[in-house]
Structure 1
Amino acid sequence: MQLSELLGVAVHDSTDRRLGTVIDVRLAVSGDVNRGPEPPTVFGLVVSPRTRSSFLGYERSQVRQPALVAALLRWRHRGTFLALWTDVSAVTASAITVRPDYRRYSPILRDN
């Protein structure tokens, strides 16, 4: 499966209740990034209950301009969360299911 195939797929909880749609895939890179890092691994899925569109980069904590666009995208993506890949119990072409004890994390990317 290609990562792009996860985008737009519906996410359900273990009782088959729809939680939203995958709008982004977060990756983790380990090793020395300057000297040949390890291949990236899937860290989690960003799930939006309201929209199928992306944050357009406005999920970064320091991006606030233009203010009107930032405010509109924050409002449009309210309720969006990050589900860890370890909480995914099943993946098909039409749906992704998370474990009963999954946890919702903030989708905001913080600058180091």
Structure 2
Amino acid sequence: MILGDLLQAKVLDASAERVGWVIDVRFVLDGTVHETLADARLSGLIVSPRTKSSYWGFERHSQDSPALIARYLRWRHRGSFLVPWSSVAMLRSDGTVVLRADHDAYDPAL
């Protein structure tokens, strides 16, 4: 899988209703840091119900300037949520992400 194939992918719930688009992904570092990098594992997808555009890093609680841009992007991405990778039921051949019926949704803020 190529990360670029996930970004801006349509996201459907188990009943095939659109819940949004993938606007970002989250990784976790497993194990200890080796000489160069730790092993990265995809842990979840950030889904926005309103737009395909990125947060540009403004989902971080500490990122609040320039204030006008931060306020606009938080408003534009209201309702966005983080879905754990374990809540993804399938990736369709057309690039659509389908969530499990009992998928979890978390706050996307860092």
Q: Partner residue of 2:13?
A: 13
Query: How many Å separate the matches in 1 of 2:44 and 2:52?
Result: 17
**Deviation string, structure 1 residues 19-49 (Cα, Å, up to 9, x no partner):** 0000001111112225455421110000000
- Whole-Å Cα distance in 1 between the matches of residues 14 and 108 of structure 2? 21
Structure 2 unaligned spans of 5+: none
Corresponding residue number in structure 1 for 2:109: 108
How high is the sequence identity, in percent, across the aligned residues?
A: 43
Over the aligned positions, Cα root-mean-square deviation in angstroms equals 1.3
Q: Distance in 2 between matches of 1:97 and 1:53?
A: 20
Equivalent residue letter for 1:86 = S
Contact 2:31–2:39, Cα closer than 8 Å, also in 1: no
- How many residues are paired up? 109
TM-score of the pair, normalised by structure 1: 0.91
Are 1:31 and 1:37, in contact at CA under 8 Å, matched by a contact in 2? no
Which secondary structure does the structure 1 equivalent of 2:30 belong to? coil
| Alpha carbons 1:8, 1:21 under 8 Å: kept | yes
Show CA shifts across 1:49-102 (max 9, x none).
001000001011100111111100000000000000000000023311111111
Structure 2 residue 79 is the aligned partner of structure 1 residue 98: no
Answer yes or no: is the 8 Å Cα contact 2:59–2:109 preserved in 1.
yes
